[in-house]
A and B are shown apart, each in its own frame.
Chain A
Amino acid sequence: MSDSATATDDRPGTEVAAPPTTPRGARRRRRAGYVTALFFLLVVLLLGAVVVLIGQGSIAIPIGEVLRILTGQGADSEINQTIVMDARLPKVVAGLLAGSALAVGGVQMQTLFRNPLADPFVLGVSSGAILGASIVILGTSGVGWLAGLGVVSQLGVTGAAVAGAGAVLLIALGIARRVGDPIVVLVVGVMLGYLAGAFVDMLVYYTDPDRLAALTTFTRGSVRNVTWNELEVIAVSCAVVLGLSVYLAQPLNALLLGEKYASSLGVNVRRIHFLSLASVAVLSGIITAYCGAIGFVGLAAPHLARGLLRTADHRLVLPASALIGAVIVLVAELIAGGNGLTSTSLPLNSVTAVVGAPVILWVLLSGRARRQVR
């Protein structure tokens, strides 16, 4: 991930010319030190989660062995090598990308909607993606799940998911601009999600049961069935869009002041809206197409990032959220069933909700949602 690099690049005031003797210089240095330490800690946490998650499973692999395989020094046994590279690494990379993508999508949505409760899952964007994908999966004749499809149909499903996500985003944003009250928008989003879900249910009801298995992973969220081929699609598109969000960071900061102020600062508001909406649609559409709807990460990660960094500056919040989102998904996967302690595994959503729902409650009850009403 390029996150660690971004982290060091974006520390505010690292090259301050002010001598360290002045209180302001000292304060800036302390602040820069804190931010660097925080990013360092997040990277360590993420790497730790990656290694632990790879090591644990129905066949436990020692940490040292995992590190040797990952760093390309060769494994003690061929089996371990295969398990790590073909079975566990794709899952871990998928989880990492999913967490980052959803968190970055969440940050952008919260700024775009001027609503601290916005998130791809909560506002029904993921459900829109599922609906889009379902229409293609269930509508096309032939086989079921993505594994059985050629690359073209795979892209077709992905494209449909992105389109579905984009459609819900547009509807939700249209309503949000008219209503303004974050809590009403939240309810609207939840309803849009239900609506999309209902359409999916109807589709399912009238369809051949053979193809239905394909849909069950969708609604619950899982990173376990992702293959290397699919990962290529996810990784490339996520890399492009996460890169784009580096470009969007500063205009999004200006948008925190409101659209009029942003345009007075020379920001092309329409273009930023479009680019940001497109990024969110692509990120949440693709992640939903391959990993299903993973809830609450996009909501919780940005709030945790802002709280830890004590700033809303997107240049710091975006990379920090990406790291936190990745950590959340990996830890959730660890708890949900990657640990081999249980024979059955939980859907990811059951775990992420444990983190996410309290964050929503905290935002609602602490009155932050009310304060941000336009």
Chain B
Amino acid sequence: MSDTTVLAAVDVSAGYRKRRRPATTVLSEVNLSARAGELITLIGPNGAGKSTLLRTLVGAQPPLGGQVLLDGTDITTLSPRRRARRLAVTLTEPVDVGLMSVEAVVTLGRLPYRSWLGRENDHDRLAVDRALADAGVEDLRDRMLSDLSDGERQRVMVARALAQEPAVLVLDEPTAFLDVARRIELAAMLTRLTVTTNAAIVLSTHDLGFALRRADQVWLVGNDSTVTAAAPEDLAYSGAITETFAGTNMSFDDAAATIVVADDAVPGATVHVTGDGRQRQWAEHAVRRAGWAPAGDGCRHVLSVEPGTPCRWRLDGTGVPDATRAEGVGFDSLVGHLRGCATAVPEALDARLS
């Protein structure tokens, strides 16, 4: 991985210029830099200006102020063809090309290099082969694009972008229409690509877990028209992500690296869960779902879980009313039981304490 900056934003303010109206600034004083071989995720709430930033960075709309530098050259001064040789994009909009094979679609990525007669040379074919291999769609080569699934099509569009041999690859919400497995595949593929192609990859996503787990750098578009660039851990640790994303009653779950809803726990309904790793984890999940809060050792209620499918559970504790003590099999009965005594317990406790 080299340290060369391939794409940079210098004091950029981005927004819309409407005819005969003052420009609307969406983002201001944006300073970013993407180095070769970096995977960068762009996150931000809806309407904060992610798309505006992406469009400005790829030169699809001019910045209202400042400069976007591609290889150190102002992107607005580059001809579309020269730009297309260094920067490739994939968009969210679905493509319907009619009768076209995957190979033909990927070959379109060589357009910025061709003369108007458009004969393919050996290097063109090599670049297409490499793009197909890098994106893992070699075996789809002769299939028709219209016959592919969403995930396959997304990867073909990435291959088409790679055929441009870009220094910067910008993907607009590549995971939007994909199921979990396809998302993980795509994420792994993009991570591999930063190594094999040494391109800087910038992608926007709503998937916080993906954004934080995979990225070398996160660009966080805030609600206050600023963009913060930092390592994912820095943004998570400093609370910047919570501040930007968390609505009322939400918090950032450090373990899951995502925003979670704060549970409406019944006051006093806390329980200490004992058990092995996974059983305990899912038992706590069930406890939360029932409106209780898992708590530490000193808690009055103790829930012990034993291995098995379904799991055996037993609720016990010191100074707990008999009605609350119970045991059973399966988390369904556990949740049912906890919900049943959640309202009764605190009152009983209060009565005893006072």
A267 with B97, Cβ < 8 A, contacts A250-B114, A250-B116, A253-B108 known: no
Which A residues are in CB contact (< 8 Å) with B80?
Answer: 263, 266-268
Contact, CB under 8 Å: A260 / B99: no
Contact, CB under 8 Å: B93 / A306: no
Quick check: is B26 within 8 A (CB to CB) of the other chain? no
Stretch at the interface among A55-63, A225-233, A311-319: A311-319
Q: How far is the CB of B16 from chain A (nearest CB, A)?
A: 17
Q: Which of these, A12, A17, A266, A312, contacts B111 with CB under 8 Å?
A: A266
Quick check: is B89 within 8 A (CB to CB) of the other chain? yes
Q: Which of these, B84, B99, B116, contacts A265 with CB under 8 Å?
A: B84
Quick check: is B122 within 8 A (CB to CB) of the other chain? yes
- The count of residues in chain B whose C-beta lies closer than 8 Å to any C-beta of chain A is 37
Quick check: is B91 within 8 A (CB to CB) of the other chain? yes
Contact, CB under 8 Å: B100 / A313: yes
Contact, CB under 8 Å: B118 / A315: yes
Which A residues are in CB contact (< 8 Å) with B236?
Answer: none
Which A residues are in CB contact (< 8 Å) with B98?
Answer: 116, 256, 306, 312, 368, 372
Q: Find the A residue at minimum CB distance from B89.
A: A264
Contact, CB under 8 Å: B100 / A265: no
Contact, CB under 8 Å: A306 / B99: yes
Which A residues are in CB contact (< 8 Å) with B125?
Answer: 13, 16-17
Q: Which of these, B99, B116, B141, contacts A311 with CB under 8 Å?
A: B99
Q: How far is the CA of A33 from the CA of B30 in the complex (A)?
A: 55
Contact, CB under 8 Å: B108 / A254: yes
Contact, CB under 8 Å: B81 / A27: no
Quick check: is A258 within 8 A (CB to CB) of the other chain? yes
Contact, CB under 8 Å: B99 / A249: no
Quick check: is B101 within 8 A (CB to CB) of the other chain? yes
Contacting residues of chain A (137-191) with chain B, CB-CB under 8 angstroms? none
Contact, CB under 8 Å: B118 / A249: yes
Using an 8 Å CB-CB cutoff, how does the interface string of A1-38 with B read, 1 for contact, 0 for none?
00000000000110011000000100100000000000
Q: Which of these, A24, A249, A253, A261, contacts B95 with CB under 8 Å?
A: A261
Contact, CB under 8 Å: A257 / B108: yes
Quick check: is A68 within 8 A (CB to CB) of the other chain? no
Interface residues on A, range: 20 to 34
Which A residues are in CB contact (< 8 Å) with B95?
Answer: 257-258, 261
Quick check: is B314 within 8 A (CB to CB) of the other chain? no
Contact, CB under 8 Å: B93 / A260: yes
Quick check: is B229 within 8 A (CB to CB) of the other chain? no
Quick check: is A40 within 8 A (CB to CB) of the other chain? no
Which A residues are in CB contact (< 8 Å) with B108?
Answer: 253-254, 257, 265
Contacting residues of chain B (99-122) with chain A, CB-CB under 8 angstroms? 99-101, 104-105, 108-109, 111-112, 114, 116-118, 120, 122
Contact, CB under 8 Å: A313 / B104: yes
Q: How far is the CB of A31 from chain B (nearest CB, A)?
A: 9
A311 with B111, Cβ < 8 A, contacts A265-B164, A306-B98 known: no
Q: How far is the CA of A161 from the CA of B98 in the complex (A)?
A: 32
Quick check: is B60 within 8 A (CB to CB) of the other chain? yes
Q: How far is the CA of A371 from the CA of B99 in the complex (A)?
A: 12
Q: How far is the CA of A246 from the CA of B117 in the complex (A)?
A: 7
Q: Which of these, B81, B97, B99, B141, contacts A266 with CB under 8 Å?
A: B81
Quick check: is A247 within 8 A (CB to CB) of the other chain? yes
Q: How far is the CA of A306 from the CA of B122 in the complex (A)?
A: 27
Quick check: is B214 within 8 A (CB to CB) of the other chain? no
Q: Which of these, A312, A371, A372, contacts B100 with CB under 8 Å?
A: A312
Quick check: is B7 within 8 A (CB to CB) of the other chain? no
Q: Find the B residue at minimum CB distance from A314.
A: B118
Contact, CB under 8 Å: A247 / B116: yes
Q: How far is the CA of A268 from the CA of B125 in the complex (A)?
A: 24
A250 with B96, Cβ < 8 A, contacts A263-B60, A266-B84 known: no
Which A residues are in CB contact (< 8 Å) with B109?
Answer: 265
Which B residues are in CB contact (< 8 Å) with A267?
Answer: 80, 111
Q: Find the A residue at minimum CB distance from B80.
A: A266
Q: How far is the CB of B226 from chain A (nearest CB, A)?
A: 27
Q: How far is the CA of A258 from the CA of B80 in the complex (A)?
A: 16
Q: Find the B residue at minimum CB distance from A251.
A: B111
Which B residues are in CB contact (< 8 Å) with A254?
Answer: 108, 111
Q: How far is the CB of A8 from chain B (nearest CB, A)?
A: 12
Contact, CB under 8 Å: B81 / A311: no
Q: How far is the CB of A252 from chain B (nearest CB, A)?
A: 11
Contacting residues of chain A (235-253) with chain B, CB-CB under 8 angstroms? 246-247, 249-251, 253
Q: How far is the CA of A312 from the CA of B144 in the complex (A)?
A: 11
Q: Find the A residue at minimum CB distance from B98.
A: A312
Q: How far is the CB of B104 from chain A (nearest CB, A)?
A: 6
Q: How far is the CA of A249 from the CA of B99 in the complex (A)?
A: 16
Which A residues are in CB contact (< 8 Å) with B141?
Answer: 24
Contacting residues of chain B (118-176) with chain A, CB-CB under 8 angstroms? 118, 120, 122, 125, 141-142, 146, 164
Contact, CB under 8 Å: B97 / A260: no
Q: How far is the CB of B149 from chain A (nearest CB, A)?
A: 16
Q: Which of these, A24, A246, A313, A371, contacts B96 with CB under 8 Å?
A: A371
Q: Find the B residue at minimum CB distance from A259.
A: B93
Q: Nearest 7 CB-CB pairs, A to B?
A: A266-B84, A266-B81, A266-B112, A266-B80, A256-B97, A312-B98, A250-B118
30 CB contacts below 8 A, A to B, read A17-B122, A27-B142, A247-B116, A250-B116, A254-B108, A257-B95, A257-B97, A257-B108, A258-B91, A258-B95, A261-B91, A261-B95, A263-B60, A263-B80, A264-B58, A264-B89, A264-B91, A265-B108, A266-B81, A266-B82, A266-B112, A267-B80, A268-B80, A310-B99, A311-B101, A312-B97, A312-B100, A368-B98, A372-B96, A372-B98
Given pairs A250-B114, A313-B104, 18 additional interface contacts (CB within 8 A): A13-B120, A16-B125, A17-B125, A254-B108, A254-B111, A257-B97, A258-B95, A260-B91, A261-B91, A264-B89, A265-B108, A265-B111, A265-B112, A306-B99, A311-B101, A313-B100, A315-B118, A368-B98
Residues on B facing A (Cβ under 8 Å) = 58, 60, 79-85, 88-89, 91, 93, 95-101, 104-105, 108-109, 111-112, 114, 116-118, 120, 122, 125, 141-142, 146, 164
Residues on A facing B (Cβ under 8 Å) = 12-13, 16-17, 24, 27, 116, 246-247, 249-251, 253-254, 256-258, 260-261, 263-268, 306, 310-313, 315, 368, 371-372
